[in-house]
């Protein structure tokens, strides 16, 4: 059984590792060169893209920004899972907002901007406290601008003046005063069956995910069910097959969708050690028609991204429940080099392990670690 993944980064790599025990041969497409490569070594394989498509059981993607011509070719094969509509929606905030509005799913107040002069009307309609995002190609805090007051508008217009907003519109969102960001990783199979992982709490720094903790603390059954209902509505509308991530802001007892990711997701990496069946295996199970795996958490888990650094002690592996996942990349500022998963028996024990982990890491690259370790250690009873 073969699965062809569009994109040859760490997510394709982790799908390959999850597929091997199942007898699934995962190959990857370098979407820039269109070469079919081994997801681990990145060495080109002795096959053309057309041959690989023909030989594959199914086609999938590790990220949304696949060139549309390649995506159309994959769609035409009848094997693309999730489908082209889902991938295009995840890649375009305008499409994404339209989907949320169609389904009456709560999200931040917003306006679509195709001309810089429309910003005056936006401020009149939803206020001057805004997050402004490029509708395509923005991630990890890139392609975003912050407006705090009317006084900053003239300067912002100068920053945006050279952008082609007809080609790539902006989405201007009213800034949400949220308590925390959470994400739900779920999976849907070809028959419409769905399974959900517990909600994860996500901690960001400079627009980039640094730490995820799952199950998130202080999650009521009602909040988990609300997230699952949102997922189900989106997945059914898109006739989705595979793993889908939904990132949400919690405001009191309500959830507002921030964005969706039609793929395996960074905030689901904790599942590799922290759940019965990891997100990568479940994605492969879904897209190949295999039964979905158990999504229960084994214990409280944390995923810590290693960003922009290589200098840390591998002795961190001496910590019980600690696992290192290294991607083998050259170092670059803000680049995800790997991640660390830690699993505990309780959230308090997990916090103690994170405190110990800090002894082995250059903390300037892990700005959220100590505060989260202390927060978890203060938890007396797990939910």
Summarize pLDDT for 297-322 with one digit per residue, the tens. Answer: 999 999 999 999 999 999 999 999 99
pLDDT for the residue 366: 98
Residues 225 and 361 in one domain: yes
| The pLDDT of residue 383 is above 60 | no
Share of the chain above pLDDT 90, in %: 96
Q: What is the residue range of 13's domain? A: 2-80
Residues 195 and 343 in one domain: yes
Residues 53 and 131 in one domain: no
Q: Does residue 91 lie in a domain region? A: no
Residues 165 and 196 in one domain: no
Which is it for strands 336-343 and 301-307: parallel, antiparallel or unpaired?
Answer: antiparallel
First to last CA, the chain: 41
Mean pLDDT of the chain: 96
Residues 251 and 162 in one domain: no
Cis upstream peptide for 126 (omega within 30°): no
pLDDT for the residue 142: 72
| The pLDDT of residue 134 is above 80 | yes
Enumerate residues 6+ apart whose C-beta is below 8 A from 211: 202, 203, 302, 303, 304, 305, 368, 369, 372
Residues 252 and 283 in one domain: yes
Among 174, 197, 214, the domain-final residue is 174
Rounded CA separation 45/16 (Å): 15
Q: Does residue 365 lie in a domain region? A: yes
What is the domain-level CATH number for residue 313?
A: 3.30.470.20
| The pLDDT of residue 139 is above 90 | no
For residue range 282-298, what is the model confidence (pLDDT) as tens digits? 999 999 999 999 999 99
Residues 293 and 226 in one domain: yes
Rounded CA separation 269/263 (Å): 12
Among 174, 199, 224, the domain-final residue is 174
Residues 268 and 148 in one domain: no
Rounded CA separation 263/296 (Å): 19
What is the domain-level CATH number for residue 69?
A: 3.40.50.20
| The pLDDT of residue 147 is above 80 | yes
Q: Does residue 128 lie in a domain region? A: yes
Residues 48 and 161 in one domain: no
Q: Does residue 95 lie in a domain region? A: no
162-188 mean pLDDT = 96
How many folded domains does the chain comprise? 3
């Amino acid at each position: 059984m073969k699965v062809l993944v569009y994109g040859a980064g760490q997510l394709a790599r982790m799908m390959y590792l999850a597929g091997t025990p199942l007898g699934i041969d995962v190959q990857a497409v370098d979407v820039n060169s269109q070469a079919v490569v081994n997801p681990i070594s990145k060495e080109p394989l002795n096959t053309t893209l057309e041959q690989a498509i023909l030989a594959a059981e199914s086609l999938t993607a590790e990220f949304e920004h696949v060139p549309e011509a390649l995506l159309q070719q994959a769609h035409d094969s009848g094997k693309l899972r999730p489908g082209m509509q889902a991938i295009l929606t995840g890649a375009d905030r305008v499409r994404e907002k339209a989907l949320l509005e169609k389904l009456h799913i709560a999200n931040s107040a917003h306006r679509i901007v195709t001309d810089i002069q429309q910003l005056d009307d936006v401020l009149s309609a939803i206020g001057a406290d805004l997050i402004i995002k490029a509708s395509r190609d923005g991630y990890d805090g890139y392609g975003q601008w912050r407006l705090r007051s009317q006084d900053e508008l003239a300067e912002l217009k100068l920053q945006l003046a050279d952008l082609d907003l007809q080609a790539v519109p902006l989405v201007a969102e009213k800034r949400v005063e949220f308590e925390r960001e959470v994400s739900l990783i779920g999976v849907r199979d070809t028959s419409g069956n769905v399974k959900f992982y517990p909600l994860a709490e996500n901690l960001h720094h400079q627009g980039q995910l640094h730490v995820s903790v799952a199950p998130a603390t202080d999650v009521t059954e009602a909040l988990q069910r609300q997230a699952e209902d949102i997922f189900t509505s989106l997945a059914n509308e898109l006739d989705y097959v595979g793993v889908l991530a939904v990132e949400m802001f919690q405001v009191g007892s309500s959830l507002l969708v921030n964005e969706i990711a039609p793929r395996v997701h960074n905030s689901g990496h904790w599942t590799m050690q922290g759940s019965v069946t990891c997100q990568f295996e479940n994605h492969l199970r879904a897209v190949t028609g295999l039964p979905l795996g158990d999504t229960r958490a084994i214990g409280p888990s944390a995923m810590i991204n290693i960003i922009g650094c290589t200098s840390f002690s591998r002795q961190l592996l001496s910590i019980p429940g600690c696992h290192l996942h290294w991607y083998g990349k050259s170092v670059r500022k803000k680049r995800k080099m790997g991640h660390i998963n830690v699993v505990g028996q309780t959230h308090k024990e997990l916090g103690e392990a994170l405190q110990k982990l800090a002894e082995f890491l250059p903390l300037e690259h892990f700005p959220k670690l100590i505060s989260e370790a202390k927060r978890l250690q203060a938890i007396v009873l797990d939910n």
